[in-house]
Amino acid sequence: MSKTTSLHAALDFSLDALFEWVRQTRQVDLCSYDSDFALRQICQRLEELSLGALSDYLSFLKNDPNEVERLITRMGVGYTRFFRNALVFETLRCRILPSLLQERPLLKRDGLRLWSAGCATGEEPYSLAILILELMRCDPSLSPARIFATDIDETMLEHARRGVYSPSRLASTHLAWVERYFLAEEREFRVREEVKSLVDFSSEDLARKSTLAPAASIFGEFELILCRNILIYLKPAQQTKIIQKLSRALAPGGYLVLGRTEEIPEPVLPLLHVISPDLRIYRRT
């Protein structure tokens, strides 16, 4: 039995109590995370706080409201960067977005609707916004798009709304785009208002059953949804529920993009056809 597994078996009850506390205080259900992964994150937190047992951590959590937020951040593993997986963004820029921008708004009055689900600190939706602005520079007649960007973690969303990043987050961004779409500050880069104005950030737990799409988007019907590098941390049953929900939120013919190592769960396969197996790009049937 591995160290984590034996620990897990011994501490299962406390984990439940801990998850219940988080659910009651923040309406976030950590039960959907893969349990070994969840336990590893919590044990690291115990070490950092020099606490010996999960019950001590539960007391700590109850006495310090900020710790719930810290735990959610830890479980979310919020690493991201601009244009993460460059080939996916090149495919969006050269193939998918141009045809969506030209064709889709003809069918609808309110322009293209995109969703970055699990956007962390905002680099993914801002990357999409930059691609759209670049395409509109080449063809000003294109209709604008609205990008809905959601995450479970309020702290990350605050960072996203501020839109200020260290240079390392921009390492995969073309220099011309850095110059065009960011303001260089002392040691950081601030996203320009033109980019920010296309993105609407809000809090959303993808695992919550009662919602289909971000409230601000009203009814969903997205032409493109990015949900990358989130499913890998979740239990298979939860992955299936989330992909089912996202597939229902897509407009007919809309695209879904997953992270590099993520898969469409078997029960959802009939709803989507594969556009690129390597880049994890799918299209609603």
Ligand X SMILES: C[S@@+](CC[C@H](N)C(=O)[O-])C[C@H]1O[C@@H](n2cnc3c(N)ncnc32)[C@H](O)[C@@H]1O
Residue 124 Cβ vs ligand X, minimum distance, rounded to whole Å: 5
**Which residues have C-beta within 8 Å of that of residue 222, sequence separation ≥ 6?**
113, 114, 115, 148, 213, 249, 250, 251, 254
Contact residue for ligand X among 7, 57, 153, 189 (CB under 6 A): 153
**Which residues have C-beta within 8 Å of that of residue 116, sequence separation ≥ 6?**
124, 125, 128, 147, 148, 149, 150, 225, 226
Per-residue mark of binding to ligand X, 161-200 (x: CB under 6 A): ----------------------------------------
Contact residue for ligand X among 206, 225, 268, 281 (CB under 6 A): 206
Nearest to 97 by CA among 28, 149, 37, 144: 144
Decide: is 30 part of the binding site for ligand X (CB under 6 A): no
Decide: is 214 part of the binding site for ligand X (CB under 6 A): no
Q: Which residue has the tokens 């078996």?
A: 9
Decide: is 152 part of the binding site for ligand X (CB under 6 A): yes
One DSSP character per residue, 223-245 reads: EEEEE-SSGGGB-HHHHHHHHHH
Contact residue for ligand X among 230, 251, 268, 281 (CB under 6 A): 230
One DSSP character per residue, 147-169 reads: EEEEES-HHHHHHHHHTEE-GGG
Decide: is 124 part of the binding site for ligand X (CB under 6 A): yes
Q: Are 222 and 213 in contact (CB under 8 A)?
A: yes
Residue 213 Cβ vs ligand X, minimum distance, rounded to whole Å: 13
Decide: is 262 part of the binding site for ligand X (CB under 6 A): no
Residue 107 Cβ vs ligand X, minimum distance, rounded to whole Å: 28
For ligand X, how many residues bind (rule: CB under 6 A)?
22
CA angle 54, 78, 119 (to 5 degrees): 130
Contact residue for ligand X among 217, 229, 239, 247 (CB under 6 A): 229
Decide: is 118 part of the binding site for ligand X (CB under 6 A): yes
Decide: is 84 part of the binding site for ligand X (CB under 6 A): yes
Q: Can you name the residues that pair with 272 across neighbouring β-strands? A: 284
Residues that bind ligand X (CB under 6 A): 76-80, 84, 118-120, 124, 151-153, 156, 204-207, 228-230, 259
